[in-house]
Amino acid sequence: MLVKSMKIFSLIMVIIITISSFVYVYIGWDDIPFDSTIKSTAPGKYAKLTDGDIHYQWFEPKSNKANGEIVVMSHGYAIPGFMFNQTAIMLTDAGYKVLVFDHFGHGFSDRPKGPYNSDFFERELLELLDSLKIYSPVIMVGQSMGGLIASNFTANHPKRIKKLALFVPAGLRMVESENKELVDLLGVPVIGPWIFRIVGRASMLEKKERPCKTCGDGKIDGDIYHQADFEGYFESMKDILVEFPMTGQDHIYKKLGKVEIPMYAIFADKDELVKLESAELFNILVPHAKISIVKNSDHAVHVRQWEKVGKLLIDWLSTNQLHGLSEI
* pLDDT higher than threshold 90 for residue 199: no
Burial of 34 (0-12, 13-18, 19+ CB in 10 A): buried
CA distance 56 to 131: 12
The pLDDT, as a whole number, for residue 211 is 85
CA distance 159 to 148: 18
The pLDDT, as a whole number, for residue 228 is 93
Q: Residue 198 region, left (φ>0) first, then alpha (ψ -120 to 50), else beta?
A: alpha
* pLDDT higher than threshold 60 for residue 278: yes
CA distance 74 to 140: 8
pTM above 0.75, yes or no: yes
CA distance 62 to 97: 9
Domains, the chain, in order of start with CATH, read: 45-327 (3.40.50.1820)
* pLDDT higher than threshold 80 for residue 42: yes
pLDDT in tens, 209-232: 888 889 998 999 999 999 999 999
Mean pLDDT of the chain: 88
